[in-house]
């Protein structure tokens, strides 16, 4: 059973960088699939941030591209999100998820439980 | 970007009755070479991550009850719950994966009348 678990600080100061890691169990990232980050501001809808392949290839949401870096560490079976220059608008629950096929143009079949990140001084 | 518009924003349905949720995309998500619609539906209960219900617009994910069905093609899609159960109270989202950025609808909240 594929399981994903987000980890990282729950509070980040404005203008700093938000860093989260997704640990994957039950499946080796190096075997394939794309792995993504999605966020959900409190009480609002879902926004795709970007996705990374096991090879390190990335696709980002253009609305966040200038501030986002997603990377993969197959040796640790993890992938990570860095979002720079955060503001209060970046306060959200951040989910990591696995795409359901080998391409990034696919649905998300497995999700982590999500972690709330609050941007505040 | 492909904009996904869901309607209604919320609906209240009696137990055992049918619930219908609509999703419209700003451009077609039908990939002509495969004749597949790049559209998924998710259910999200409070405090939980979204759960995949339907992909390719009408293919039910393994383990999803058959009272959930998806239909539509091109730009207009529907998620139907044929006989609403108490455990179906949730927010439902559509998502297109035809092109990046991947985008979601705004969600439809389903409650018991």
CA–CA distances in Å: residue A105 to residues A41, A84, B15, B62 = 24, 26, 36, 20
* pLDDT over 90, % of chain A: 93
Contact at CB, B100 and A113, closer than 8 angstroms: no
A45 CB neighbour count, 10 Å cutoff = 16
How confident is the model over B79-88, as a mean pLDDT? 98
**Rounded Cα gap, residues B26 and B101, in angstroms:** 13
| Nearest CB to B104; choose among A46, A105, A114 | A46
Of B1, B97, B103, the CB nearest to A107: B97
C-alpha span between A113 and A28 (Å, rounded): 19
pLDDT of A102 > 80? The answer is no
Contact B39, B64 (CB under 8 A): no
Longest dimension (CA), chain A: 41
A70 SS3 class: strand
What is residue A105's predicted lDDT score, i.e. its pLDDT? 84
Q: pLDDT digits over B44-57, tens only?
A: 999 999 999 999 99
Task: Give the pLDDT of residue B91.
Answer: 98
> Using the beta-carbon criterion (under 8 Å), do A111 and B50 form an inter-chain contact?
yes
How confident is the model at residue B113, as a pLDDT?
A: 96
A37: exposed, middle or buried (Cβ count in 10 Å: 0-12, 13-18, 19+): buried
Q: Is A105 on the interface with B (CB under 8 A)?
A: yes
CA A42 vs. chain centroid, Å, equals 17
Kindly report, residue by residue over A54-76, the tens digit of the pLDDT. 999 999 999 999 999 999 999 99
């Amino acid at each position: 059973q594929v399981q994903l678990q987000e980890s990282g600080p729950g509070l980040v100061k404005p203008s700093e960088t938000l860093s989260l890691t997704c640990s994957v169990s039950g499946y080796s990232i190096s075997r394939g699939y794309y792995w993504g980050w999605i966020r959900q501001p409190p009480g609002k809808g879902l926004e795709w941030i970007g996705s990374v392949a096991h090879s390190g290839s990335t696709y980002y949401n253009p609305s966040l591209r200038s501030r986002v870096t997603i990377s993969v560490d197959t040796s640790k079976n993890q992938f990570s999100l860095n979002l720079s220059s955060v503001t209060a608008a970046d306060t959200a629950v951040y989910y990591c998820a696995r795409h359901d096929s080998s391409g990034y143009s696919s649905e998300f079949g497995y999700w982590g439980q999500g972690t709330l990140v609050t941007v505040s001084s | 970007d492909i904009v996904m518009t869901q309607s209604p924003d919320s609906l209240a349905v009696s137990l055992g009755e049918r619930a219908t949720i609509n999703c419209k995309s700003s451009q077609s998500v039908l990939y002509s070479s495969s004749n597949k619609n790049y559209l998924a539906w998710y259910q999200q209960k409070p405090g939980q991550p979204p759960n995949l219900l339907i992909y390719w617009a009408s293919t039910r994910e393994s383990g999803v009850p058959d009272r959930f069905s998806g239909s539509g093609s091109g730009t207009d899609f529907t998620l139907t719950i044929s006989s609403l159960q108490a455990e179906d109270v949730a927010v439902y989202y559509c998502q297109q994966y035809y092109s990046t950025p991947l985008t979601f609808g705004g969600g439809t909240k389903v409650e018991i009348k």
